[in-house]
Amino acid sequence: MLVIQILTVGVVACAIFDLWQRVFQKMTAIPPSNWAMVGRWSLGLMTSGQLIARDLESQAERKNELAVGWLVHYSVAIGYAAVYAWLMHATILQAGLIDGLIFGVISVVVPWFFFLPCLGKGMLARLTPNPPLVCALALMMHSLFGASIGLGFAVFAD
């Protein structure tokens, strides 16, 4: 049953993340995440072992990169839900909005210090045209995502 909960919470929280990015784009004209680039990076990692990408946007498009990117995106979301479930089991977190929000805020270290550098954007997005904006967007999205995970597990707790 726990596996079903983790899968459900991870997928639903990720869908909320994706829907919010589209709503946010309508309000601000800031485009949502480009999962094709994540797929391109993932395929490069799998085929050449290259963890840190350089000039990812200028690299040739790879077959199925968009589908792979979406698969990676949802798989990572399920992984975050599994970590949250483990932290609940260890009585470090509880299901709910506040603990979910705390989890989301803390989890933003992953894109800031791992994923953005892997995509060639540098730590804290320092190689992007607007690092504070990129970091703020990551914090917003991870906060929403974490809150969604916490609330998702709260639904199962009732």
pLDDT of residue 1: 81
Listed residue (31, 37, 14) closest to 116, CA to CA: 37
pLDDT of residue 51: 95
CA-to-CA distance for 43 and 59, rounded, in angstroms? 12
CA contacts within 13 A on the Cβ side of 21: 17
Q: Would you say residue 158 has pLDDT above 80?
A: no
Q: Which residue has the tokens 């909960």?
A: 5
Burial class (CB in 10 A: 0-12, 13-18, 19+), 91: exposed
**In this predicted model, what pLDDT tens digit does every residue of 131-148 receive, in sequence order?**
999 999 999 999 999 999
**In this predicted model, what pLDDT tens digit does every residue of 79-100 receive, in sequence order?**
999 999 999 999 999 999 999 9
CA-to-CA distance for 50 and 66, rounded, in angstroms? 19
Instruction: Determine the 3-state secondary structure of 50 from DSSP.
Output: coil
pTM here is 0.95
pLDDT of residue 113: 98
Listed residue (124, 158, 153, 119) closest to 5, CA to CA: 153
pLDDT band at 21 (very low <50, low <70, confident <90, very high): very high
Report the share of the chain in percent with pLDDT over 70: 99
pLDDT of residue 157: 87
Listed residue (18, 73, 16) closest to 41, CA to CA: 73
pLDDT of residue 54: 86
Contact criterion met (CB below 8 Å) for 134 and 116? yes
pLDDT of residue 31: 96
